[in-house]
């Protein structure tokens, strides 16, 4: 996702500095005109806007904090955007750290896939101040088809977790349905065709069906990250005093798929779990 976003900005002649923990992944942007940084600190230094897109809270902490972190390199008054899917608690902690550095911070997670990122068709859900949102709107509009300001810091992170836990529940339920129809002796191909033309055939389910038909589970959204997001959502709901009785068993379905070694495949591979 971060790679697609960088390519999009470079294609429109934005000056871009990139950093990746695996330098080889960053080097491929050099031929498109990007400057390759050796550390997050170096990547943030001199930049008016810093965007992070990483896997989880731990990766975000490693990118932003410490002497080599992006926060230490960010100039006073710069705009910091965290577009990863993270816990609300960490997002608020990071916002406070940014404020201490006299920087503007927004949590701006996205919905969409790698092709959406490359084509500027992401949907940004933004939390933070109205002033920060106004500053970020132009660049986010280049990266996304829609940019929505939801409210204070943490608002984007919370809605993204809600979105992803519902997607995970839907995917887990469909995986269970396939096991059920197979165990019941139904013709799998005919049954899936019927389900694909029924009310349950959401875009997510249709995407899963496409992966199944092609037997291609190349990750657009890795299963291990869906598992992580469901877990984050459950913990955040607990903090809000809200039980998620459908999310808990869905998480177990995804954990089982992880145990079978499917974590690096697309989340739709949960049907193989």
CATH code of the domain containing 136: 3.40.50.720
Shared domain check, 18 and 136: yes
Shared domain check, 36 and 130: yes
Are residues 247 and 237 in contact, defined by beta-carbon separation less than 8 angstroms? yes
What count of residues does the chain have? 273
Instruction: State how far Cα 155 lies from the chain centre.
Output: 15
Torsion of CA 133, 136, 138, 142, to 10 degrees: -120
Query: What does R_g of the chain's alpha carbons equal in angstroms?
Result: 20
Q: Does position 273 have pLDDT exceeding 90, yes or no? A: no
pLDDT at 46: 87
**Quick check: pTM over 0.75?**
yes
Query: Phi-psi region for residue 53, left (φ > 0), alpha (ψ -120 to 50) or beta?
Result: beta
Domain end position, chosen among 117, 135, 152:
152
pLDDT in tens, 5-39: 999 999 999 999 999 999 999 999 999 999 999 99
Shared domain check, 28 and 123: yes
Name which of 192, 165, 156, 180 is nearest 251 in CA terms. Answer: 165
Name which of 235, 264, 260 is nearest 248 in CA terms. Answer: 235
Shared domain check, 199 and 129: no
Shared domain check, 143 and 34: yes
Domain with 145 in it: 2-152
Domain end position, chosen among 124, 152, 180:
152
pLDDT at 84: 98
The active-site residue out of 25, 92, 160, 228 is: 160
- 82 beta partners: 52, 107
Domain end position, chosen among 133, 152, 171:
152
Q: Does position 180 have pLDDT exceeding 90, yes or no? A: yes
Shared domain check, 112 and 80: yes
Shared domain check, 185 and 259: yes
**Hey, which bits of 64-183 come out as E strands?**
79-82, 104-107, 110-111, 122-127, 144-151
Q: Environment class of residue 244 by beta-carbon count within 10 Å: exposed (0-12), middle (13-18) or buried (19+)? A: buried
CATH number at residue 191: 1.10.1040.10
Shared domain check, 193 and 148: no
Average pLDDT rounded to a whole number, residues 153-161: 98
Name which of 234, 221, 227, 231 is nearest 254 in CA terms. Answer: 227
* Non-local CB neighbours of 270 within 8 Å, separated by 6+ positions: 171, 172, 175, 223, 226, 253, 254, 257, 262
pLDDT in tens, 196-208: 999 999 999 999 9
Shared domain check, 145 and 26: yes
**Number of Cβ within a 10 Å radius of residue 198:** 9
Distance CA 77, CA 132 (A): 10
- Beta-sheet pairing, 110-111 with 122-127: antiparallel
Shared domain check, 87 and 217: no
**Domain count within the chain:** 2
Shared domain check, 186 and 137: no
**Annotation says 160 is catalytic:** yes
pLDDT in tens, 75-100: 999 999 999 999 999 999 999 999 99
Shared domain check, 121 and 176: no
């Amino acid at each position: 996702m971060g790679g697609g976003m960088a390519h999009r900005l470079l294609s429109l002649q934005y000056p871009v500095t990139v950093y990746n923990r695996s330098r080889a992944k960053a080097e491929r942007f050099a031929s498109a005109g990007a400057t390759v940084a050796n550390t997050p600190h170096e990547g943030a230094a001199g930049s008016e806007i810093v965007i992070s897109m990483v896997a989880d809270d731990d990766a975000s902490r490693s990118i932003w904090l410490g002497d080599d972190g992006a926060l230490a390199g960010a100039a006073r008054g710069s705009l910091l955007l965290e577009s990863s899917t993270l816990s609300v608690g960490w997002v608020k902690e990071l916002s406070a750290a940014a404020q201490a550095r006299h920087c503007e911070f927004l949590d701006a997670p996205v919905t969409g896939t790698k092709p959406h990122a490359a084509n500027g068709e992401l949907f940004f859900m933004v939390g933070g101040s109205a002033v920060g949102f106004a500053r970020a709107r132009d660049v986010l509009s280049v990266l996304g088809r829609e940019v929505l300001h939801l409210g204070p810091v943490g608002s984007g992170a919370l809605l993204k977790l809600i979105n992803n836990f519902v997607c995970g529940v839907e995917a887990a339920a469909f995986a269970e349905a396939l096991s059920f129809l197979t165990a019941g002796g139904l013709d799998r191909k005919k049954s899936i065709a019927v389900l694909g033309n029924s009310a349950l055939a959401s875009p997510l389910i249709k995407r899963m069906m496409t992966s199944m038909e092609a037997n291609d589970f190349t990750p657009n959204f890795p299963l291990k990250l869906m598992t992580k997001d469901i877990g984050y959502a459950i913990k955040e709901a607990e903090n809000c005093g809200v039980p998620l009785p459908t999310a808990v068993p869905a998480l177990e379905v995804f954990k089982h798929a992880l145990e079978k070694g499917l974590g690096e495949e697309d989340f739709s591979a949960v049907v193989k779990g």
